[in-house]
Structure 1
Amino acid sequence: MRLAVSLVGLTLVLSAVAGVAVAVAVKDGVGFQYGVAAGEVTATSAKLWTRAPVAGTVTLTVVEATKKPTVRTFTLRAAQANDLTVQRVVTGLAPSTEYRYTFAQRGSGGASAPGLFRTAPKASANARVRFAISGDADATPGPNGRPGFNNFETYGQMAAEGNDFNINLGDTIYSDSEIAGAKPALSVPAKWAKYKLGLALPALRRLRASASLYSQPDDHEYINDFSVPEFGRPLYRAGVKAFTDYAPVSWKPARGFYRTFRWGKNLELFVLDERSFRSAKVAKQCANDLAPTGPSAVRQAFSTLVPSLANPVVPGCIAAINDPSRTMLGGAQEKRFLAAIRASNATFKVIVNEVPIQQFYQLPYDRWEGYAAARTRLLKGLGGVENVVFLTTDTHANMFGEVRLQTLEGPPIGTGIWEAVTGPVATNTYAKEIDAVIGAKGTGDFITSLFLKPAPPGGIGMPCAATDVFSYGQVVVTGTKLTVTPKTSTGAPVREKTGAACAPLVVPAR
């Protein structure tokens, strides 16, 4: 082992000094087939991850990419209890500094392919920050044995951006895939297998190795539309265990996956946990009405397309949606988050948000709209906080819009807060899912063009509503503005069905 580690360390040092790409002198990643990852990066620390070929000792080597690099090594142990995954939090790092790292295990194929990450700037640094965000990625194979949707090309394009970091937001596996015949993954070993399906695709490995990656689960790490009251704590524990084994991420019983990360003077990320503490949905109380909160005029206008909308909403449905005792975040997280974001002196406060918070009325039960009192309470709690932006996935579409207290219930009441929804990486798009629910091809496009795009009171008035494209959001933050540019899996501009490109969302600093 000493020989392998010394060769790796020497190569990393020489590469750092020369300022060239790392080229490991031993077998490059032969045994470490699932790659490496860096997560939870701060100005002075990072959590580094790999999956070892076999159980036993693993050596991690970290090199600071400077003219006088320091080499640090750590001894880890791979065990079957964690499916051979190992992680180490490395502290004492320098801010705004590039690091390279690799793992090695004697007798198992040498060393891993190298990984790269950059630490965050100091909180006082007036730094320009670039990152990309997407989510919703299903690698489940179809009948031909290949991934049923695509090869995660979106992740590969995100890696090609050369960002400071990236965000993989929710549904990083599909425990219950929409691929016909796929069995639900409900146990920890079955979920481990799902993560390995995704990591078998080179694009995801490139993303994880190219820069640090903040990872967050949503429902499909457990099961569709998950909440603990509906599906039980054993399934929750299985989802947490498998996710924290395969992503370098922090979880604590009292905080769940809620975390914050500071990137210089201009950016603080607030990563909300919207699964661990939420109340049960009220879809059953509403008889799964497709648009229970839609005003009567809107329901009637679309009843020719969806006849059930001509029926009245079942008694008790709206009261259940508006029940103030129901919560999305849980009382402790909501209080902690609002206190933290009010206290933040970052120019932009970016809320990394698992499910959409803007209103679009269709099947609201799993989104913030389905927890109406909690939604209103949160938005009012954000009143007076400057430069707040929500970045969201989950809906399998690009939907840019203002987060309003009301949109169609009367004159629109805005908050001045904007949300950019983006994705997916690899699953059915929003338009195709609407087609499946209604049972008519083209319905999703019809609703997008005639309801999501038109301004109130006839529609939502989204500046960007592209609901049938694999995509990500490319984000640039400076001291004067935050810009979200929606891009396709090839890096091209996201276009609506009309052919018009979605303009970037530009939020000026106030």
Structure 2
Amino acid sequence: MPSQNAGALRRRDFNRLVASSGLGALAGWPQRAPAQVTAETLRPRIECGVASGEISPTSAVLWSRADRPSRMQVEVATDDSFRNVVRRLNGGDALPHSDHTCQIQVDDLTPGEIFHYRIRFDSLEQPGALSEPMTGLLRTAPLKRQAVRFLWSGDTVGQGFGIDPARGGMRMYRTMLERKPDFFVHSGDTIYADNPLVESLTLDDGSVWRNIVTPEKSQVAQSLDEFRGCFRYNWLDEHFRAFHAAVPVLVQWDDHETLNNWYPGELLEDNRYSVKSASLLAARGRTAFLEYHPIKHRPGAKIYRTVPYGPDLELFFIDMRSYRGPNNANNQTALGTDAALLGPEQLRWLKQRLSESPATWKVICSDMPLGLICGDGPKAFENIANGNGPPLGRELELVDLLTHLREQNIRNTIWITADVHYAASHYYDPNKAQFQDFLPFWEFVSGPLHAGTFGPNPLDNTFGPQVVFKSIPDKLKPARPPSEGLQFFGQIDIDGQTGALTVGHYNVAGEKLWERTFEA
């Protein structure tokens, strides 16, 4: 658990930030002379909010969005009054081609420290016309062993459940903020581009769920602006804005950033779509995804990457969507294009980076679970699992990876994921598996954040997964609304003295449902 002093510091900083985030200017921002200030209508306005991500010991990526062409100005300080400014940046343009979003990497920060940042925009059309500032908070990654807390989950605004102000909006983001994490991993389905919203839904208890609806969220996303509109929608929620201002977010994508169960080269038969190419839709969805998150732009727009976080932790973000073959019977006897999920290049990268990692705990952030069976129609499969038996199809990639981990004696690896809309803890036991030549490991599933609840999914026995915990009953009516409270997130704490790792599952009320500690 975090030390008492670190916790006290975080509580004070978080409470101040939540009280002030997005509510106008704070004292201390450098003031322009009156002659440089133009009419109020010419001043840029910060749309959405502010966010941070891609944190390292000495850097972080900051994000925001303006309402017109303008230049981002950033100040980073060690105090919330901004008397002790350590970095000032004037650069990074919010332009129409990026929907006026802007990211700036701030360097030369001190490792393992809490920083306050302040963002405002200077109009490019009327230089000197400045927006009101918005503030945020982040903690850089440590170089020395220290207590770390992070959360993970997935699945936001799915199954037609959008923002209902009368029900408190996206309450999960408020609950997670109260846990005061150092950062958050969003394990995919950051939007539901294929799930339009309607103004009202009648629930099983007779009550009515009333959505805020925007034009872009009233239809499936096909154009780039419609995908962007799905991301803009989430920022309408006050809890979402406060959380992102206070907690660095590390994101990966899954299918609903484009559409359900898509794969490269797929041609759609869905009559809702006039654009039939899943690859074209995915290109637009990826563009919007990269625009609307504080994420470094990599060659080829690669989403897979690692994020080292001190001597005890490294996170490995994989991409199970971009390099897969078609969803099929998944029963090939040898690896090839039709049996790909990660693809050969990404699989080689993952094995190499795991071998090179000096971190005590190696957390593989997956956008889909390994051993749960997720079908795509009656004769095809969406993820690795394909039913009981020896490894076939996409399971052969996992055989390759697990064999590498055993041969290299790479231990303390755990998997975190979302996707299936309930929480669970799975222990992969080689003694109960069809393929047994691997080191045992754990997989932790969480979600949804704000979407319908489903499950539980059946398990495939190929790698011997055992259900140690699950958050829902054995039989559950599909698509339970967020109002029923079956929304979940996971929490991981690393002890700052021993390096022990504790995993917990929580619900939207903040109640701890399960916990276990693992010694390094």
Query: Could you say whether these structures have the same fold, taking a TM-score greater than 0.5 normalized by the shorter chain as the test?
Result: yes
**Aligned partner of 1:491 among 502, 510, 520:** 510
1:47 Cα deviation (Å)? 0.6
Residue by residue, what CA displacement relative to the aligned partner does 1:217-261 show, whole Å, maximum 9, x if unpaired? 111111111221325432222111101111011243447111111
What CA distance in whole angstroms lies between the structure 2 residues aligned with 1:89 and 1:175? 28
1:345 — aligned with what? 358
Match of 1:58 among 59, 72, 93: 72
- Matched AA of 1:378: L
Distance in 1 of aligned mates of 2:443 and 2:265? 28
Q: Supply the distance in 1 between the matched residues of 2:239 and 2:23 (Cα, whole angstroms).
A: 23
Q: CA deviation at 1:189?
A: 0.2
What is the CA–CA distance in structure 2 between the aligned matches of 1:398 and 1:407, rounded to whole Å? 22
The residue type paired with residue 46 of structure 1 is A
Partner of 2:91: 75
> Distance in 2 between the 1:185 and 1:165 partners?
29
Question: TM-score, structure 2 length as denominator?
Answer: 0.74
Show CA shifts across 1:389-441 (max 9, x none).
00101111112112356957x5977731100000101122123xxxxxxxxxx
Which residue of 2 is the match for residue 104 of structure 1? 120
Letter in structure 2 aligned against 1:115: G
For residues 351 and 221 of structure 1, the distance between their equivalents in structure 2, rounded to whole angstroms, comes to 21
Which string of whole-angstrom CA distances, capped at 9 and with x for unpartnered residues, describes residues 23-57 of structure 1?
59993499324110001110011110001132223
**Does structure 1 residue 393 correspond to structure 2 residue 429?**
no
Q: In structure 1, how many angstroms separate the alpha carbons of the residues matched to 2:311 and 2:249?
A: 20
Classify the secondary structure of the residue corresponding to 2:306: strand
Whole-angstrom CA distance in 2 between matches of 1:456 and 1:245: 40
The 5 Å alignment of 1:69-468 reads: 69-105=85-121, 110-122=131-143, 125-138=144-157, 146=164, 151-177=169-195, 182-230=218-266, 231-254=277-300, 256-282=302-328, 317=329, 319-320=331-332, 322-325=333-336, 326-360=339-373, 365-370=381-386, 371-383=394-406, 384-404=409-429, 415-431=439-455, 461-467=466-472
Residues 416 and 97 (structure 1), Cα distance of their counterparts in 2 relative to 1, 3 Å cut: same
Describe the superposition over 1:364-389 as per-residue Cα deviations: whole angstroms up to 9, x where unpaired. 82222252211222222222211000
Change in CA separation of 1:24 and 1:206 when aligned onto 2, cut-off 3 Å: closer
Contact 1:34-1:196 at 8 Å conserved across structures: yes
Distance 1:116 1:331 in 2: 38
TM-score by length of 1: 0.75
Closer, same or farther in 2 for the Cα pair 1:43/1:456, shift >3 Å?
A: closer
CA 247–74 in structure 1, closer or farther in 2 if over 3 Å, else same: same
Distance 1:25 1:82, change over 3 A: closer
Deviation of 1:121 after TM superposition, in Å, equals 0.5
CA deviations over 1:174-217 (Å, ceiling 9, x no partner): 01117569521122100111111111001111111112111111
Secondary structure in 1 matching 2:104: strand
Q: What is the percent sequence identity of the aligned residues?
A: 25
Q: Secondary structure at the match of 2:326?
A: coil
Distance, in Å, in 2 between the alignment partners of 1:253 and 1:105 is: 28
CA contact (8 A) 2:429 2:465 kept: no
- Secondary structure at the counterpart of residue 134 of structure 2: coil
Q: 1:430 is aligned with what amino acid?
A: F
1:86/1:411 CA distance change after superposition, 3 Å:
closer
The answer to whether the 8 A contact 2:22-2:135 is kept is: no
- Residues 225 and 418 (structure 1 numbering): CA distance in 2 closer, same or farther, change over 3 Å? same
- Give the equivalent residue in structure 1 for 2:49: 35
Which residue in 1 is equivalent to 2:126? none
Shift of 1:267: 0.5
Distance 2:468 2:16 in 1: 41
Instruction: Tell me what 1:295 maps to.
Output: none
Match of 2:493 among 467, 472, 476: 476
Shift of 1:69: 4.2
2:49 and 2:238 map into 1 onto residues whose CA distance is 9
The separation in 2 between residues aligned to 1:423 and 1:111, in whole angstroms, is 35
In 1, Cα distance between the equivalents of 2:22 and 2:439?
Answer: 56
Q: CA deviation at 1:135?
A: 1.0
RMSD, matched Cα: 3.4
- Contact kept, 8 Å, 2:23 with 2:134, in 1: the verdict is no
Q: Which residue does the alignment assign to 1:498?
A: none
d(CA) in 1 for partners of 2:264, 2:353: 26
User: CA separation of 1:45/1:480 partners in 2, compared to 1, >3 Å: closer, same or farther?
Assistant: closer
Amino acid at match of 1:252: R
C-alpha displacement of 1:456: 8.2
Shift of 1:82: 0.9
Does the CA contact (< 8 Å) of 1:36 and 1:112 recur in 2? no
Structure 2, gaps ≥5 residues long: 1-9, 27-43, 124-128, 200-217, 267-276, 387-393, 473-479, 481-485
Alignment check: 8 A CA contact 1:403 1:414 kept: no
Structure 1: segments with no counterpart, 5+ residues: 1-15, 283-316, 432-443, 495-502
How far has the Cα of 1:360 moved from its partner?
A: 4.8
Cα distance, 1:258–1:221 mapped onto 2, change above 3 Å: same
How far the C-alpha of 1:113 sits from its partner, in A, is 2.4
Whether contact under 8 Å (1:26, 1:111) holds in the other structure is no
Q: Distance in 1 between matches of 2:301 and 2:490?
A: 27
Task: Flag the 1:172–1:112 CA change in 2: closer, same or farther, 3 A.
Answer: farther
Q: Against the structure 1 CA distance between its residues 480 and 25, is the aligned structure 2 distance closer, same or farther, given a 3 Å change threshold?
A: closer
Contact 1:406 1:413 in 2 (8 A): no
The 8 Å contact of residues 261 and 269 in structure 1, kept in 2 or not, is answered as yes
1:263 Cα deviation from its structure 2 partner: 1.3
Decide whether the 8 Å contact of 1:139 with 1:147 is kept in 2. no
One-letter code of the match for 2:492? V
**1-structure distance, mates of 2:461, 2:371:** 14
